[in-house]
Structure formats: structure tokens, C-alpha cells
Amino acid sequence: MAGNKVLIGTVPLESFLLFLFTFILTLIVGNVAYVVMRRLLDGRLSRHHSKILARATHYTVLFGGIYLGIHNVLGKDLTAFAASLGVFSIALAFSSQQIIQNLVAGVLIAIERPIRLEEWIEVGGAPETGVCKVKDITLTTTVLRNINGRLIYLPNSVLLSSRIINYSKSGFVELPVQLTIPYGSDLKKIKRIVLAVADENAWILPNVPIEEKSMMTQLLEMPRFKRVFEPDFYVTMFEPKVLIADISGSKITLSIRIWLREVN
């Protein structure tokens, strides 16, 4: 206590309480700004770009409010304030290194756009995520939902340094399915049933609607697909296949190879 003033460190109690009020108000205004921006932009831009601009506005409000609180309310110079923290500032510097890496990675993801919202992807390396849908992309973290419904929060720096498989951008993808049957089963009958079921599914190639056949043909003519497939590759060669993968003891393992025209 100095004179009649109550101090918290070197800051008067009144200034400290005003800083807390400013900080809380900044959080509220930042969240409101995010919601308002989403409502204004969702009808005009894609969900991906709408979220990026709304989050940029949100973080700008937060940074501006905290800066004003420290500089104007507490009367502290940010450089001197950080230096006065001593050991805490060193620890903060080490912890902020990872944050900065994630921020830079988040900016690169926004620019290069290797993934977008609602796309199906798989992240390899460590950790492996399996097939997941992209639910959210923030400046520091990407949120994925796997096929079991679990949410995976992946730091952007980890995501960007890992191998990313984007199934949604591939156009079509081969899906292997394992089927185990008893030894001595009627393989021809099982094959007929599998092929009949595949033939009834509109998402399994070569079951392409007439209006989309020309699009599929154009897709196969693209240079990136020509490098993968032979020049005489046709849509009819996407026919489902039923192969024997393994025979052991009293069971037979079949490998069913089907092509999906779109991942959804």
C-alpha cells in the first residue's frame, strides 16, 4: 500500500480492476465480432473463407484490446513489461515458439489450401489419424472427425509437416474391402452377389450417370491422371473385382476392390 492506494505489485488496484474489465470486455467483443462476421459473410463467401476472415477479425480485436489494456490502462510499455517478467518471460518465449510455428503453419494452410472444410483426408506419419473429415481450421489447430465420431485436434505445424492424403480432391478412389467366408462356400455365387450389390450403388464405378460420363472422361484425360494410367484406360476398367487374398484353415479371405467416383 502506497499512501492511501492499494497496489498489486506496482499497479494500483483501480487500474488492475479496470484492466480486468477491459480484458473481459475484449473477449466478449471479439466473440461478438466473430459471430457478426460469420453471419455477414456466410451467404457471400464459402464457409472456408468466411471462417478465415471471421477468425482474423476475432484475433485482431483480442490483440488490440490486450494492447490497449496493458499500454493505456496499466500504463506499461510492452517491451519493459515483458522484461520485468524476468524468468517468466523466458518460459513464455519457449512456449510461444510452438505457438508461432502453429500460427505460421496456419497461415500457410490458408494460402496453399491443401485441405478445406468438410474434405475427407488422412494424415500420415506420427500420429496417424486414419480417414477423417475436416471440421475446423483455426490459426493454430485443425480439428478432424474420424469415422468413429472422435474429434482429433491436430497442431497446424504437425499437420503441415506430415503426409496428407486428400481423398475429396482425388476425384475417385479405390476402396479395398476384406470379406471372410467359410472354406467350401460357393465362390461364384458370392461373387455374383457382391457384383450385383456394387452394380446397384450409384457411387461405385463404373455406375456413372449419363450427364456425368463426359465429366469422367475429361477427368481421365487430365495430365495428372494420364501419368498414372495407361493411354487406353477406360471407365469400364473400373469394374469391381473379387479376388482371393488368403486361404487358411477353414476360412477364405476375399479382397473386394471397388472404385468410388466421389468420397462423401
> What is the per-residue DSSP string for 126-152?
SS---EEEEEEE-SSEEEEEETTS-EE
Q: Any residues with CB less than 8 A from the CB of 261 and at least 6 apart, and which?
A: 171, 172, 203, 204, 205, 207, 208, 212, 216
Q: Which amino acid is at 157?
A: S
Supply angle C-alpha 177, 169, 173, rounded to 5.
Answer: 20
Helix or strand holding residue 247 (H, E): strand 241-248
The model's pLDDT over 123-153, given as tens digits with 9 standing for 90+, comes to 886 567 888 999 988 878 899 999 888 999 9
Q: Is 245 in a helix, a strand, or coil?
A: strand
Query: CB–CB of 109/63 below 8 Å?
Result: no
Query: Using CA atoms, how far apart are residues 29 and 65, in angstroms rounded to an integer?
Result: 9
pTM comes to: 0.56
Quote the pLDDT of residue 40. Answer: 87
Helix or strand holding residue 164 (H, E): strand 164-166
Quote the pLDDT of residue 193. Answer: 92
Predicted confidence pLDDT, tens digits, the chain (264 residues): 555 666 655 667 777 778 788 888 888 888 888 888 888 888 787 777 787 788 888 888 888 888 887 777 666 655 555 555 555 555 555 556 677 777 778 778 877 788 888 888 888 865 678 889 999 888 788 999 998 889 999 998 888 888 888 888 877 778 888 899 998 889 899 999 998 888 888 778 777 665 555 555 566 666 666 555 555 455 567 788 888 888 888 899 999 888 887 776
Q: Quick one: 103 exposed, middle or buried, by C-beta within 10 A (0-12, 13-18, 19+)?
A: middle
Quote the pLDDT of residue 137. Answer: 86
Which residue, among 110, 97, 116, 222, has the nearest Cα to 172 in the 3D structure? 222
Quote the pLDDT of residue 151. Answer: 92
Q: Quick one: 45 exposed, middle or buried, by C-beta within 10 A (0-12, 13-18, 19+)?
A: middle
Q: Is 221 in a helix, a strand, or coil?
A: coil
Report the sign of the C-alpha dihedral through residues 47, 141, 82, 12, in that order: positive
